[in-house]
Amino acid sequence: MPVKTPKTLDKLVVSKLLERLKDEYDAMYFYTAVANWCQGQGYEAIAKFFKKEAENEHDHARKIEKYITDWNVFFELPAIEQPSKEYRGLIDVIEQAYDLEYALYEAYEETSKEMFSLDLCVFDFLTPLRLGQNESVIEYSDMLNELQTIAADVNSFALYYWQQEKFK
């Protein structure tokens, strides 16, 4: 007697989730690269922060992978682009991180809007990821606001002191 084949996710849903999976892996690589750069520049405190960011992005990727495979979909992992290895300084790194987080926020917003009418359970799955992106945008926005305060007198010591105090 044949065994019933379980349902899987709609192909469009899988496609959108794989896009977000790639975004999370790209973010993990970016944060790993900037953590290494910060470490090499002597910014130990913010290097630890960025290493934790990389771990968080990897956790997000694993959640998406689990959701897809729990729905009986087996897929190839997306190719990950190599992040830049050169930065103009700590402010550049934080600006790039803000841009990355804002782009992820917009991507999760768009995907969530699509899933609301297509698959409410996927929409629900995305909700904590979307809300987390909102928090990340706020966090990096706050950093940029703080850096604007010291930007008129930017020097290596000011940035070093800022990152030491901010990321204790």
pLDDT attached to residue 164: 72
Q: Which of 27, 18, 16 is nearest to 74 (CA)?
A: 18
In a domain, 146, yes or no: yes
Please check whether residue 32 is in contact with residue 54, taking contact to mean a CB–CB distance below 8 angstroms. Answer: yes
Both tokens of 112, joined, read 């969530």
Q: What is the per-residue pLDDT for 119?
A: 96
| Largest Cα–Cα separation, the chain | 77
Residue at 16 is within a domain = yes
> Three-state secondary structure along 104-131?
HHHHHHHHHHHHHHHCHHHHHHHHHHHH
- The answer to whether 141 and 98 have CB atoms below 8 angstroms apart is yes
CB 50 within 8 A of CB 35: yes
Q: Is residue 5 part of a domain?
A: no
Residue 73 CA: distances (Å) to CA of 15, 35, 62, 115? 11, 34, 14, 17
Eight-class DSSP state of 78: P
Asked if 27 and 140 count as a contact pair (C-beta separation under 8 A), the reply is: no
Distance CA 139, CA 95 (A): 12
C-alpha span between 167 and 147 (Å, rounded): 14
Judge whether 79 lies within some domain. no
Q: What is the pTM of this model?
A: 0.89
Residue 159 confidence (pLDDT): 67
Q: Give the CATH number, domain containing residue 126.
A: 1.20.1260.10
Q: Count structural domains, the chain.
A: 1
Residue 25: inside a domain, yes or no? yes
> Is residue 110 one of the residues assigned to a domain?
yes
Q: 118, 19, 4: which is closest to 68 by C-alpha?
A: 19
96 assigned to some structural domain: yes
Domain that holds residue 36: 11-72+88-166
Q: pLDDT by residue (tens digit) across 104-147?
A: 999 999 999 999 999 999 999 999 999 999 999 999 999 998 88
What are the pLDDT tens digits along the chain (168 aa)?
899 999 999 999 999 999 999 999 999 999 999 999 999 999 999 999 999 999 999 999 999 999 999 999 999 999 998 988 889 999 899 999 999 999 999 999 999 999 999 999 999 999 999 999 999 999 999 999 888 877 666 566 676 667 777 777
The answer to whether residue 78 is domain-embedded is no
